[in-house]
Amino acid sequence: MIVPNLLRTLMRGDVPLKSKLILLAGLVYLISPIDLLPDVIFGFGWLDDLVIVPLLGWLSYRSLPAPVQHDVVPEADAGENTSRRTVLYMVVLLVAVVLVILLGSGEGDLAPVSPVLSQ
């Protein structure tokens, strides 16, 4: 699995600080309540997480030295199987994005509810 191996690079001494900081930025953005698009906007609030976090993970991986990249993604996982898996992940991501857009069509009332004061 690529994600656990990528997370293990945070503890390695042969990984540049730049790679670690990019990966940490992705993790912090994932758990942070502050987003580019607030999660209150149903559907669209999750799109930035679906784009930014994998992008930062990919950038972190690309900034690793070649030997560490081979440790993160062993050669046995490369090749035709990886390309099929990538296509499958892209299809699942596309279906998820389409469902979020369709379900978050704005029909729900997202206005804040004001408290009723009884007098």
What would the pLDDT profile of 62-106 be if each residue is shown by its tens digit? 888 888 888 888 765 555 556 777 778 888 878 877 777 777 655
Tell me, yes or no, if the pTM score tops 0.85: no
Q: What is the pLDDT of residue 39?
A: 67
Task: Write down the number of H helices and E strands in the chain.
Answer: 5, 0
Q: Strand, helix or coil at 35?
A: coil
Q: What is the pLDDT of residue 76?
A: 52
What angle is formed at CA 105 by the lines to CA 104 and CA 106, rounded to 5 degrees?
95
Q: How far is CA 46 from CA 16, 34, 74, 85, 93, in A?
A: 30, 12, 31, 23, 12
Q: Strand, helix or coil at 15?
A: coil
Q: What is the pLDDT of residue 107?
A: 53
